Structure 1
Amino acid sequence: MPNALHDMRNLLVTPPEMQAVDKDAAGSGIDSFSLMRSAGMAVSAAALRLFPSAARFVVFCGPGNNGGDGYVAAAALTASGANVALYALGDTGKLKGDAARAHAAYGREAISIELYEPQSQDVIIDALFGAGLARELPDQAQEIVGRVDQAGLPVVAVDLPSGIDGRTGEIRGASFTAVHTVTFMAAKPGHVLMPGRGRCGTLEVFDIGIPARLVAARAGGLGINVPAVWRQCAAGLDPATHKFKRGHLAVFSGGPTSTGAARLSAAAGLRAGAGLVTLASPTEAIPVNAAHLTAVMLKEIGNAADLAEWLKDSRLNAFVLGPGFGIGEKARDFALMLCERALVLDADGLTSFKERRSELFDRIAASGGQVVMTPHEGEFQRLFPEIAADGKLSKIEKAQAAAKLSHAVILSKGPDTVIAAPSGRAVVNVNAPPWLATAGSGDVLAGIIGAHLAQGMPAFEAAAAAAWRHGEAGRRTGRSATAEMLVENIAPLPEESAS
């Protein structure tokens, strides 16, 4: 796995992996209570930094080590002179290990959590349950969540807002909505997958002193999608290079009333750096497309025989099939012919294989091409129904399973877009603003991926870089974004110094 994913700033570690890291740290001689002290002190520092004038800090402590972090934070806040009230979930006499030690060190009474009554100036520190929660939040805790929500009080979460599953990002019955979350050593999938991501507020990853090598040794192939993930593969994508060295991208158009989506993809491909872009159009759509194209070239491709003849030109090295193309046999025939090249299969191209997916997957496996599939949630359900229906899997795990089954790179679209390779490597894109979900946005994304493939980027890196550039285009465009505006705001790839 590339070292970029072992940059602690970009790493995603699942709760089981983090538990293994904690055990490894203890086994290496690191005092686990010192780690808890570092975590609790980081939480208290964040609370004081964000709310220096708080009338009262209310600390909710759970029955495990997350609660132990809360006891340390409460002690530090008290020592700083802050007004602190601590409420515990469960019998504090049953605390064990470091949590019991932290409770003893706090040295003050812990009030039963059911007695908490919100005050208007309270700042909540949520140390009930961390990222390891994989069951419904206890009823007592859910009631407290309701009280805090109703009062509109700010919450600082320890590790992850209680009620969010750290592996999937799902809400387990109810959860706090934090203004700030302090987690330790590395982010967890629940921090970046929806709906959990929307309840974390700003995320602070604090190094509590576990050596990075121990974290890296347990981490799988998961990360946050940042330029460090794909920059090395993009190093040669210089827009100043001659057009014939930057690849030739072909985008397939639908019929005369369905041409706009393909033109958006083609325009995005040209803007994103492909040296040449050709729109392959059926005969009946030639006049419509010709009236709208300038720098993008036009080629009449009416059937499979036309395509076979065109493919004799080896300079055609990347293709986008699906946007506005139409569902059916023609889409299937074209896609199967293109699998030996670099191909982005999107929209109608995906849906056309709903009943014949094995044919597509077998062809991809045998072809050795570079294929990227870009399903939104509905298309994913149609093409991978058994994976989509498995409620135990996170969005990351679903994308990984689909990539393994299809032998293609899967870009599973949404506010938490996941890019997964058949090898299991995966990244989650986090820079896309909500307004990016506009008509035609996916067509623009497909064109950017196509441009990267045309320039020789491997499929995984091509898709990851495209998702990131697509998100940045949305940010540059602003809330009034339309697909055409996104094309105009596709920025150059970031400089070497970007992270």
Structure 2
Amino acid sequence: MGDALEDMLVTPVEMAAIDKDAADSGIDSFSLMRSAGLAVSAAALRLFPAGLRFVVLCGPGNNGGDGYVAAEALAESGAQVALYILGDADKLRGDAARACKGCRLAGLPVEAYEPQAGDIVVDALFGAGLARDLPGVAQTIIKRVSASRIPVLAVDLPSGIDGRSGEVRGASFTATHTVTFMAAKPGHVLMPGRQSCGTLEVFDIGIPTRLVAARASDLRINGPADWRHYSRGLDAGTHKYKRGHLAVLSGGPTSTGAARLSAAAGLVAGAGLVTLGSPPEALAANASHLTAIMLKEVGSAADLAEWLRDKRLNTFVLGPGFGVGKKARDFALMLCDRALVLDADGMSSFQQGREELFDKIAGNGGQVVMTPHEGEFARLFPEIAADAALSKIEKAQAAARLSHAVIIYKGPDTVVAAPSGRAVVNVNAPPWLATAGSGDVLAGIIGAHLAQGFPAFEAAAAAVWRHGEAGICAGRALTAERLVENIPPLA
């Protein structure tokens, strides 16, 4: 794939419009289907050289058309191929009908398929456009294949996965490998769809990049290309204040560790200097654990107001171990004119009265990043969380619009969304990142990026990616402390 399409995500509706635009431009649509089917057959032969039989399951639409082309190509290569059909092949129309007629293999009804040792299933039943539950016969075959544990090569997307949301529609294949075309779809990267796809291969079937880009929204897989231009190296004349001053606000004496983790992560991630703002009763606990990180007494709103007179203090992290309540609300509202990471208790404190926070963010330019996990998202945005019609991407986008903040909707498929609708989905985080203190480290990395002058969206996207890379480097036995030590360089 070309660089322009490599990290792009295209929704099924957008892909349908792209296909139509390609046909309207004079590109033969059947040639595109033939390219897709040949890509599938090539992948099957390359990935499964020891397979005794390729079993191609063809559905009632264009995904089935790709399957017919693949079946014919596999048979021409000398492989043993069995063809099974869902529905009445005589009712196929357009390119799918042409592909079916061009396949010389005799097909049997899909319900007749009984898995055998050595089979490789080529799943061409339903593609990314699926938006309803699978018919019962398809669900039965999926369960039969799953029980047999034979490998599955999915065409476009494993049948049963909704290409827009990644949700399972009744049942789905779990593929060893998935071949899709032109660009990945949200269902490839959102859970649980992502874990059903196996390895993903995106194949260029010949639609011009300009046609894809013209229809695609501002939705991408998170990666350095989206924020690399903000991570340029340091110039020879820099000093610590040019690299940004990050402040992290600590909770009381029995809950100081989370803030210190954020502060340590911020320093490693590139902030020029980091200060921990501590209430007086926690000063001794914090002082006993700090070296390069500075310490300042900040016990009240008046203390914070005095500190804010220093305009070099440009970024704050509020929430890790801070405590839920009025103090957190008061502090957050005072900080909306600076760059602010509102995490954990900082968000939960606005379960009631969120409108005041959202209005304050909007009135101060919106350089605020909020980092809810599933439970925190449901508390802060209950009406959005409850809307089953929305994908995780769409929920994050709706929350960003409502709050005027950049939203990091955390999870194994973390989504970063801006109020403008721009969004990225992160795919590099290992499952062992789900450990105590991991979110506190992420908050500190975001704060470091904001302190260095990143816009809020890029600061958040880069932080989520670096956090994932740190998890990979730290390995399965990571703790939050080890995670800090493994934060990779930004540039």
Fold shared, TM-score > 0.5 on shorter chain: yes
Q: How many residues are matched?
A: 490
| Correspondence list, 1:231-246, <5 A | 231-235=228-232, 241-246=238-243
The Cα offsets for residues 98-143 of structure 1, whole Å up to 9 and x where unpaired, read as 0000000002211100100110110000000000000001100000
Provide the rounded CA distance (Å) in 2 between the counterparts of 1:238 and 1:26: 51
Partner of 1:291: 288
CA contact under 8 A between 2:366 and 2:404: conserved in structure 1? no
Secondary structure, aligned partner of 1:244: coil
CA contact (8 A) 1:239 1:273 kept: no
What is the CA–CA distance in structure 2 between the aligned matches of 1:448 and 1:216, rounded to whole Å?
Answer: 32
Residue in structure 1 matched with residue 457 of structure 2 by the alignment: 460
For 2:401 and 2:388, locate their aligned partners in 1 and report how far apart those are by CA, in whole Å. Answer: 18
1:65 to 40, 58, 62: 62
Listed as ranges, the matches of 1:322-471 within 5 Å are 322-471=319-468
Shift of 1:240: 9.0
- The 5 Å alignment of 1:268-307 reads 268-307=265-304
Cα RMSD after superposing both structures: 1.1
The 8 Å contact of residues 53 and 80 in structure 2, kept in 1 or not, is answered as yes
Of residues 89, 92, 96, the one that matches 2:93 is 96
Q: Cα 1:237–1:111, aligned 2, differ >3 Å: closer, same or farther?
A: farther
Unmatched tracts of structure 1, length 5 or more: 495-499
Residues of 2 paired with 1:154 and 1:53: CA distance? Answer: 12
Alpha-carbon deviations, 1:158-191, whole Å to 9, x = none?
0000000000000000000000000000000000
Residue 222 of structure 1 corresponds to 219
Range with bigger deviation, 271-280 or 5-14: 5-14
Q: Secondary structure at 1:85's aligned position in 2?
A: strand
In the alignment, which residue of structure 2 is the partner of 1:317?
Answer: 314
Alignment deviations for residues 461-481 of structure 1 (CA, whole Å, 9 cap, x no partner): 000000000000000000001
Shift of 1:237: 5.9
Alpha carbons 2:384, 2:395 under 8 Å: kept: yes
CA distance in 2, matches of 1:471, 1:77: 39
Distance 2:232 2:420 in 1: 23
Identity among equivalent positions (%) equals 77
Pairwise CA distance, 1:241: 3.8
Equivalent residues of 1:264, 1:443 under 8 A apart:
yes
Counterpart in the other structure of 1:256: 253
CA distance in 1, matches of 2:105, 2:80: 13
How many Å separate the matches in 2 of 1:36 and 1:190? 21
Match of 1:153 in 2: 150
CA distance in 1, matches of 2:459, 2:274: 17
Query: Under a length normalisation based on structure 1, what TM-score does the superposition of the two structures give?
Result: 0.97
In structure 2, distance between residues paired with 1:396 and 1:302: 38
Q: Secondary structure at the match of 1:7?
A: helix
Alignment partners' CA distance in 2, 1:209 and 1:241: 48
Task: State the alpha-carbon separation in 1 of the partners of residues 208 and 252 from structure 2.
Answer: 58
Q: Which residue of 2 aligns with 1:497?
A: none
Deviations 1:4-25 (A, max 9, x none): x982000000000000000000
Question: Quick one: distance in 2 between partners of 1:484 and 1:115?
Answer: 55
Aligned residue for 1:480?
A: 477
State the TM-score, normalizing by the size of structure 2: 0.99
Q: 1:265 to 1:240 in 2, by over 3 A?
A: farther
How far 1:338 moved relative to its partner?
0.2
Equivalent in 137, 140, 150 of residue 134 of structure 2: 137
Indicate the SS of the match to 2:227: helix
Q: CA deviation at 1:52?
A: 1.1
